[in-house]
Chain A
Amino acid sequence: MVETINLYKDYKVGKVLFPALRGVSVKIEAAEFTAIAGPSGSGKTTLLNIIGCLDVPTKGDVLINGTNTNKLSSKEKATLRKNEIGFVFQTFNLIPVLTAYENVEIPLILLDMTQDKKRENIISILEEVGLGEYINRRPNEMSGGQQQRVAIARALVKNPSMVLADEPTANLDSTTAKEILGLMKELNEKHKTTFIFSTHDQLVMDYAQRIIRLRDGKVVADKTKKSEGPGDSS
């Protein structure tokens, strides 16, 4: 359902051309729970951003459900993101003036849905992420883990076909990180939503069903586990 074909991405830093991706071709099927692993600077974030239509590749194509995103206008990309893709960021990126409920509501502003249905979806997803009692808290009244749960609820509330999470646990302690990963895994199994997340943390990788390793902008390993389970460290 997501396929990248020979992706290249160069960044210009001053006058120096920095290659972030150098020919990445991967195929990720629906409902997979995939980690993109690698040290910092290996191109994980760039790959996620390009898949999510937040950035454009220098060369190569991305197919999402068969649609080549290179051929879409910025408005069409916005529509694709609106309907198909949920994002979870390392820094949570909640809107500070809004409560948990209202933050989760934002993606639904754009969708054609009755108020009752919206309310039902928001409450149910916030309960699923374990924040049923915190719906009226603002971000600054919540812990990092709780904020990331809001962000996950926000990504999932519109029932997208995939969720892209860039280093979702990098700003969390290891216990909270485990909880968040557990939650993501649970939601992946329950909703059959594709999860693609980037990480450089071994602990987080262990949760993944499939690990795509990047180094210097190239895929160096692509491993699918037969049996999966938390805490199964190697």
Chain B
Amino acid sequence: MTAVKLAWRNVFRHTRRTVITAAAISVGLSAMILMNSMMNGVDKLASQNIIDYETSHLEIFADGYYREEGVFPLDTIIDNPGLILKKIEQISNVKSVAPRVKFQASISNGIDELPVIGVGVDIKKEKEVFKIVNSVVKGSFLQHEGDVLIGKDLSRDMDLDIGSYLTIITKDRNGTYNAFDLTVSGIINTGHPLFDRNAALISIEQAQELLAIFDGVTELSVRVRDDRNLVRTKERLVQAVGKEYEVYTWRELNAAIFEISGFKRMAQFMIALVVVIIAAVGIINTMLMAVMERIPEIGTLKAMGFNNQGIVKMFVYEGGIIGIFGSLLGCLIGLLLSLYLVHFGIDMSAMFGNADIVYPMKFIIVGEIDYWTVLSVFLFGVFVSVFVTLWPVRKATRLQPVDALRHV
């Protein structure tokens, strides 16, 4: 018989009470784990979408372009990408580079007109850097000039299908309106709302002609071999291309999104924390009852020579045992729910519909489990259980042994 064993027996003196308390802790903790998995999944998917469709790992602009990126300034573009392309490709970690021309435009099907972002892509290089070619769900990728690729949402909104004609209209570099008639060659489904809903992809040559920018491009997108040390690759790129260009990592380009993400994490964590606090109140209540009804027993133990420290230790073990049970259960439930998310995901699109969202992903949430978080949540649960036990026990041990014995 040790103090731990004694605590163990006492924990199961009131099995139902113990189970309810442990269940309360486990609900709180499983909510924390599930939310963490969801947020990780959302972030991972968003990051993947950004890298695979929007920016790749690194992007190079002409100096000054990025500050005004929102208005697609055609007077600060990379006029002669050939000058630096070779230098970029020579950097060891660079896998490939693709030029793109992005511009504001609108498309018309003859009846309706919609604003879109035009994206001129290098048909050959595009495949080496981005994954748009893999997301063609109908028809084929761009084959030649005059082809246009649109997202499945845009095709539905504009009632366009393979072979349909559309007109793309934009202002060129000189401020003159220019337009081309194009044939829809393929429909893409990327999961990135920008490309599925708001973009029209054409060949880069056609875009350059449309905008009257000759060989100019708005950006060079760089895919690297190993993305673990992007900052170093970025530094080497900066050195290679010189001061007339700016280099950004995909994270820098999407700082706002990760800020939102951090904020959401914080908010969700707070919600989970509230649940845990409620659970903690439950434990306090249980331990308070356990202590109160056993004050004469505390007196007996004191009479036998237990000092306050020994008695506090015993009750702390009790809180710890309940905490370990509840936390194990909570982590298990949280993990199982997260695993469901990882394997099946939740389709939230019914809830959000076609709402205009800034997050670069569709609302199919796929979980991503971070086992370190699970471990720290477990330790947190045990810590809280032990911590809240201290208060009622300390109170009880302050009584004179005789008062404790007489207590009813």
- Residues in chain A within 8 A of chain B (CB atoms): 49, 52-56, 74-75, 78-83, 85, 87, 89, 93, 95-98, 102, 105-107, 109-110, 154
Contact = CB atoms under 8 A, between A and B. Distances in A.
A74 B307 contact: yes
Q: Identify which of B2, B302, B402 gathers the most chain A CB atoms within 10 Å of its CB.
A: B402
B308 A81 contact: no
Contacts, number: 74
Interface in B284-330: 296-297, 299-308, 310
A81 B234 CA distance: 73
23 contacts: A49-B402, A53-B401, A54-B302, A55-B400, A78-B302, A79-B305, A80-B305, A81-B303, A81-B304, A82-B304, A82-B306, A83-B305, A87-B303, A89-B300, A93-B299, A93-B405, A98-B6, A106-B301, A109-B2, A109-B3, A110-B305, A110-B306, A110-B310
Given A93-B405, A97-B13, 6 more contacts: A54-B299, A54-B401, A78-B307, A81-B305, A89-B300, A95-B300
Q: Identify which of B6, B306, B307 gathers the most chain A CB atoms within 10 Å of its CB.
A: B307
A49 B403 CA distance: 10
Interface in B36-83: none
Contacts of A87: 300, 303-304
B9 interface: yes
Instruction: Enumerate the 4 nearest inter-chain pairs by beta-carbon distance, A residue then B residue, closest first.
Output: A82-B305, A78-B307, A55-B402, A54-B401
Contacts of A55: 400-402
Contacts of A81: 302-305
B355 interface: no
Contacts of A107: 304-305
Contact of B307 (A75, A83, A95, A98): A75
Contacts of A79: 305, 307
Nearest to A79: B305
A89 B405 contact: yes
A78 B309 CA distance: 11
B1 interface: yes
Nearest to A151: B300
A3 B140 CA distance: 106
Contacts of B303: 52, 54, 81, 87, 89
B10 interface: yes
B302 A96 contact: no
A79 B303 CA distance: 10
Nearest to B303: A87
Contacts of B12: 97
A54 B308 CA distance: 13
A56 to B, nearest CB: 7
A178 B400 CA distance: 32
A105 B132 CA distance: 74
Contacts of A80: 305
Nearest to B305: A82
A6 B310 CA distance: 34
Contacts of B301: 106
Interface string B389-408: 00000000000111001000
A110 B6 CA distance: 13
Nearest to A155: B304
A114 B2 CA distance: 13
A151 B33 CA distance: 49
Contact of A109 (B1, B13, B302, B400): B1
B359 to A, nearest CB: 55
A102 B3 CA distance: 12
B7 to A, nearest CB: 10
Contacts of A78: 302, 305-308
Contacts of A109: 1-3, 6
A96 B299 CA distance: 14
A191 B1 CA distance: 26
B302 A95 contact: no
A179 to B, nearest CB: 23
